[in-house]
Amino acid sequence: MNIPELPSVSSRRWLAPITAVFCTVLVISNVSAIKPLAIPGLPFVLMDGGNLLFPISYIFGDILVEVYGYAQSRRIIWLGFVLNAFAAGAFSLVAILPPAPGWENFYAPGVPMQDAFASILLQTPRVVLGSVVAFWCGSFLNAWVMAKMKVWTSGRHLWMRTIGSTIAGEGVDSLLFTALAFGGVWPLQLVLQVIFWNFVLKTGYEILATPLTYVIVHRLKRAERSDPFDVQTRFSPFRLGDS
């Protein structure tokens, strides 16, 4: 197998902003996912609201593995996991605590603001469980497939790696999140439709974003002087070291 020589040590100057975008998209998407959406003009296409942004986290997940390696990506996935759980806990605490006197009259007199606030942000344990389990499983599977395929292909065919890893990761994520969070709450037909269209639309999102992914990856590799191959990496998701 012909593996290209590793370049000099990465500066990682873009790692922090990429991590910030990755985690921000994740937290926003998990709140947005509470609402199922219908596409205007396509009433048979049903998905959760998280689909508007969540595929971006997989695009950035691919970029992290490709430019910084599996070990660095693993740490950021754990950071996203912790922040997701933290956000869910914070929203739930704020929703449970009683509002200040007169709060409901500040914005919309006569509207039960506390009930409206709680109905959106008071995520049930099932939604939180579905969110963190689906993210953890899907993201680690995506990163594993991306890293392994890079070694198998000797760094060629980036499009094949990004799409292949997304099919695996998004498939698991769509199935676990919707089934764990909304199974038995939404009608079965709606659950199945949302799982199907979540997967189709997320994968389609990745395919359409492939040209942009190529541009970002190539520019980042030059800027960071980094193109790692996870030949000797230990792929256990529970390690936080550099190998």
Q: Kindly write down the DSSP assignment for every residue of 15-76, as one continuous string.
A: HHHHHHHHHHHHHHHHHHTTSEEEETTEEEEEEEGGGGTHHHHHHHHHHHHHHH-HHHHHHH
The confidence band for 1, taking pLDDT boundaries of 50, 70 and 90, is low
Instruction: Indicate if the pLDDT at residue 33 is higher than 60.
Output: yes
Instruction: Indicate if the pLDDT at residue 243 is higher than 90.
Output: no
The confidence band for 7, taking pLDDT boundaries of 50, 70 and 90, is very low
pLDDT reported for residue 8: 44
Q: What is the pLDDT of residues 42-81, one digit of tens each?
A: 778 888 788 888 888 889 999 999 999 999 999 999 999 9
Average pLDDT, stretch 132-152? Answer: 95
Average pLDDT, stretch 209-230? Answer: 94
Q: What is the pLDDT of residues 77-119, one digit of tens each?
A: 999 999 988 988 888 888 888 888 877 767 667 778 888 888 7
Distance CA 192, CA 186 (A): 10
Share the mean pLDDT of the chain.
Answer: 87
DSSP structural state of residue 98: P
Task: For residue 200, give every residue at least 6 positions away whose Cβ sits within 8 Å of its Cβ, in sequence order, or none.
Answer: none
Domain range list for the chain: 15-36+48-99+112-224
User: 3-class SS at 186?
Assistant: strand
pLDDT reported for residue 214: 94
Share of the chain above pLDDT 90, in %: 48
pLDDT reported for residue 155: 94
Q: What is the pLDDT of residues 153-206, one digit of tens each?
A: 999 999 999 999 999 999 999 999 889 988 888 899 989 988 998 899 889 988
What angle in degrees, to the nearest 10, is found between the helix axes of 15-32 and 70-96? 40
Q: What is the pLDDT of residues 229-239, one digit of tens each?
A: 999 999 999 98
